[in-house]
Copies of this chain bind each other. A is one copy, B any other.
Amino acid sequence: MTPERFEKLKNTLSRRQPDLRVLTDHVHKPHNIAAIVRTCDAMGVAHLHMVWPHDQFGRFSKTASGSDRWVTVHPHQTSVEAIELQKQQGRKVIAAHFSDRAIDFRDYDYTQPTTLLLGQELFGVSDESADMCDEHVVIPMQGMVESFNVSVAAAIILSEAQRQRDAAGMYDKLSLNPEEYEKTLFQWAHP
C-alpha cells in the first residue's frame, strides 16, 4: 500500500457519518442493492442495515462484493427488529414513503441522527414498518410514473442529507469513535 492510499483511507474514515444510516426493507434486486451500497459509500454512510429473506443473503454478498468493502452491511431477519435497533441506538427512522403524514424530503433535518428506510421494489414500505417510523418523506413527482427506482430515491434523499451535513460542517470533524476508526482502518489496510 502506498502512503497516498493510506492517507485516502484515513481521510475517508474521518468523513464517515455513523449516525446517518440506510435500512433497506426487503429491497431485493442485486443491481439496486449494489447501487445503494455504492451511493452510501460516496455519501459517507458507513452502515447499511438490510432486511433480507434469510436464504437469499448469500446471493447478495456475491453480487455486491467489491462495493460492499467500504460499507458495513448489517443483515436483519425482520423489519421490526431492524427498526427497533435504530431507535435503541438513538436514531430517528424516516421512511421514504407516500402517506398522509409524509413531508417533502427537503423539509427534514438530516443533521439529526437518522436512519433512512427504503421499501421493496414492487410493494414499497409495509404498513407495519411505516407505522413504526418517526417520519415519512417523499420526493415530489412531476410526471406520470408513480415512483422512482428505489436506488434513485435513496440517492436523491441522501444527496440532500449530504448537502445539509456539509453545510453544518459535519464532514470536517471526526465522527467515528476511536475504536471503530482504528478497527476499520486496520481492516481496510489489510484486506
Could you list which residues of chain A lie within 8 angstroms of chain B, going by C-beta atoms? 8-9, 12, 15, 31, 34-35, 38-44, 67, 69-70, 106, 139-145, 148-149, 151-152, 155-156, 159, 162-163, 166, 171
The answer to whether B35 touches A144, judged by C-beta atoms less than 8 angstroms apart, is no
Minimum CB–CB distance from A112 to chain B (whole Å) comes to: 19
The answer to whether A41 touches B151, judged by C-beta atoms less than 8 angstroms apart, is no
The answer to whether B148 touches A162, judged by C-beta atoms less than 8 angstroms apart, is no
**Which of B9, B42, B145, B151 is A145 in contact with, Cβ under 8 Å?**
B42
In the assembly, what is the distance between CA of A43 and CA of B149, in Å?
13
The answer to whether B38 touches A145, judged by C-beta atoms less than 8 angstroms apart, is yes
Using known A-B contacts A156-B156, A159-B139, A159-B156, determine if residue A39 contacts B149 with beta carbons closer than 8 Å: yes
Extra contacts, 11 of them, besides A12-B144, A41-B145, A155-B156 (Cβ < 8 A), are A31-B31, A35-B148, A42-B148, A67-B145, A106-B163, A139-B159, A140-B162, A142-B162, A149-B151, A151-B152, A156-B156
The answer to whether A8 touches B144, judged by C-beta atoms less than 8 angstroms apart, is yes
Enumerate the 4 nearest inter-chain pairs by beta-carbon distance, A residue then B residue, closest first: A41-B143, A44-B142, A35-B149, A152-B155
- Which of the listed residues A15, A70, A140 has the most CB atoms from chain B within 10 Å of its own CB? A140
Chain B residues, CB < 8 A from A163: 106
Using known A-B contacts A148-B38, A151-B149, determine if residue A142 contacts B171 with beta carbons closer than 8 Å: yes
**Which of B35, B44, B69, B162 is A152 in contact with, Cβ under 8 Å?**
B35
Using known A-B contacts A152-B35, A152-B152, determine if residue A145 contacts B44 with beta carbons closer than 8 Å: no
**Which of B9, B41, B42, B144 is A41 in contact with, Cβ under 8 Å?**
B144
